Each structure stands twice: as structure tokens, then as C-alpha cells.
Amino acid sequence: MRNFATKISLNFLFGHREDTWYDYSGEKEAMQVENKILIVEDEPLLLDILCDYFRSKGQLPIPAKNGAEALSCLEQHTVDAVLLDILMPEADGFTVCRAVRKHSAVPIIFLTALSDEEDKLRGYELGADDYVTKPYSMAVLYAKTMALISRYHGFVGSKGYLSIGDITLDLKDRYMTVKGEKIALANREYLLLRCFMTHKNQILSREQLLRMVWGYDYDGDERTVDTHVKKLRAKGIPIDTVIRAGYRLKEAEKP
């Protein structure tokens, strides 16, 4: 993590009337998991500042300067959250939000100068999780983002793991335990299990799993999903087959 101090004069962002120094070099964050966060903003300086702030907190920002670039990034990366400006060239924020929601439940926060109620309602209808209106606080934006990511991944506290019944997935060291037994996972096995656990009780088609785990540009046989599901089952993960629909990891009902 690099140390830096950024001098900015963005009154519309922070509501300040004069230049202010933001020194992130001494800030420490207790998060144990590096999350990929797509940050979409057409103002270059603001995009740099947002990326620098989240990077200083131990996160991995993926920058995009317009809607088309954001959609391209989503084809290459599986992200944990999307911070999304609305008024942008080459596909606005509403268009990007609609495209994301066709395939993913990843948290989306709109960053916007628009304060009209109809615009906010439209965003929520398209599947946005939250709205942050300029001027806003970096600390508040970060807190909102981490809270949504934690909810999305089903964190227990902030310990960096997912747990369903007797299954626990360590998100930092990428291994699982089943009934107390520690079991190593290959990279795709880890990503696939994480996908099932963050979408517990949901039926996921092969196509959805390919997009979320292998990426939008994967052009191989979708039966590779079946192969990796078999590998997880062999390691003790009770993934159900839903005929003509896909797969599901169900949380056991409490007696």
C-alpha cells in the first residue's frame, strides 16, 4: 500500500470552500479481505482520488472513466461492489446498472449530483443498493461500501469468512473447513464455492456460474461447471442439482 497526500479543490465533492490536504498515509484498516471495487467516474481527478482512497484502505479499485469502459471491465473482472456515476458518456450509469443486474447481485452505489426524487427512484427500480449525492464524505462512502460488501458476502462480523452449516470458507487464505476438517481448494473451486455461498439457497444456471466465476469472455464448454461442482461435492459440499435449471447450495433448516 503506498503512502501519499493528495491536495484537492473539489467543492462539489466534499462541500469545502478551500483547498484541503487529505493525508491517507497513516490510516489503517482492519479489513482482512482485499475487495475488488469497480469505480466508474468520468471526472479524471475525482476518479483518481476515489481509487487512491480505497487503495489506502487495503481495497483493490478498478477504475473506469465511462459506461462503456465499465462494461468492458465487468467482462474481465469479478467485482465485489460498483461505485457508479450517472451522467457519463458512452452509456450512462442507469444503463450500466441495468446490464449488471441481468447477471449479478453485486452491490451498486450511485455517486451523483442528481438529487431529484424521480432519478433516485429510477435507480432503485433498476437495482441500485444506495445513492450518495455530492457533496459527500469519503469516510461515509467507504463505510457504506464495506457494509454492503459485508452483507453481500455474508461476513460473520469482519473476520473475513463465509459460513453455512458445517462449511466455512476462509476468504483470505482461500481454504475451507467441513465439520472442522481443513481442506485445500484450487482457485476455480474456491471462486465457485464462494459464488454458491454468497448466493445461498438460490438456483444458479451454468451460464450464470460461468459469467461469475470464469468471466464474460469465457468461450469454453459450459460443462466445465459440472466438472468443478463434482470436485466440490467430492470434498463434502452438498450442492443440489435442480433439473433443467442449474445448481443450488441450500442452507440446512434449523430443527
> Which residues face 61 on adjacent strands?
37
Q: State the cell numbers at 192.
A: 465457485
Rounded Cα–Cα distance for residues 130 and 215 (Å): 26
Q: Return the higher-pLDDT residue of 191 and 217.
A: 191
148-179: b or e for each residue (b if 16 or more CB lie within 10 Å)? bbbebbebeeeebbbbbeebbbbbeebebbee
Q: Which is it for strands 108-112 and 130-133: parallel, antiparallel or unpaired? A: parallel
Rounded Cα–Cα distance for residues 103 and 70 (Å): 15
What is the pLDDT, as a whole number, of residue 63? 95
Kindly tell me if the per-residue pLDDT of 191 is higher than 90: no
How confident is the model over 36-49, as a mean pLDDT? 93
Q: Which is it for strands 36-40 and 60-64: parallel, antiparallel or unpaired? A: parallel
Rounded Cα–Cα distance for residues 252 and 255 (Å): 9
Task: Please write the tens of the pLDDT for every residue from 75-123.
Answer: 888 788 999 998 888 888 898 988 887 777 788 999 887 666 777 788 8
Q: Domain spans of the chain?
A: 5-153, 161-249
Q: State the cell numbers at 215.
A: 468471466
Rounded Cα–Cα distance for residues 209 and 238 (Å): 17
Which CATH code for domain 161-249?
1.10.10.10
| The CATH fold of domain 5-153 | Rossmann fold (3.40.50)
What is the pLDDT, as a whole number, of residue 9? 37
Kindly tell me if the per-residue pLDDT of 137 is higher than 70: yes
How confident is the model over 27-40, as a mean pLDDT? 64
Q: Return the higher-pLDDT residue of 58 and 252.
A: 58
| Short-list 13, 14, 21, CA closest to 43 | 13
Is residue 46 very low, low, confident or very high in pLDDT (cuts 50, 70, 90)?
A: very high
Spacing of C-alpha 24 from chain mean position: 23
Residue in the block written with cell 442528481: 114
Task: Please write the tens of the pLDDT for every residue from 4-23.
Answer: 333 333 443 444 433 333 33
Rounded Cα–Cα distance for residues 21 and 11 (Å): 13
Count other C-beta atoms under 10 Å from residue 110's C-beta: 25
How confident is the model over 31-43, as a mean pLDDT? 79
Does 5-153 match 161-249 in CATH topology? no
Task: Please write the tens of the pLDDT for every residue from 214-223.
Answer: 875 677 788 8
What is the pLDDT, as a whole number, of residue 159? 57
> CA-based angle 194:97:112, to the nearest 5?
115
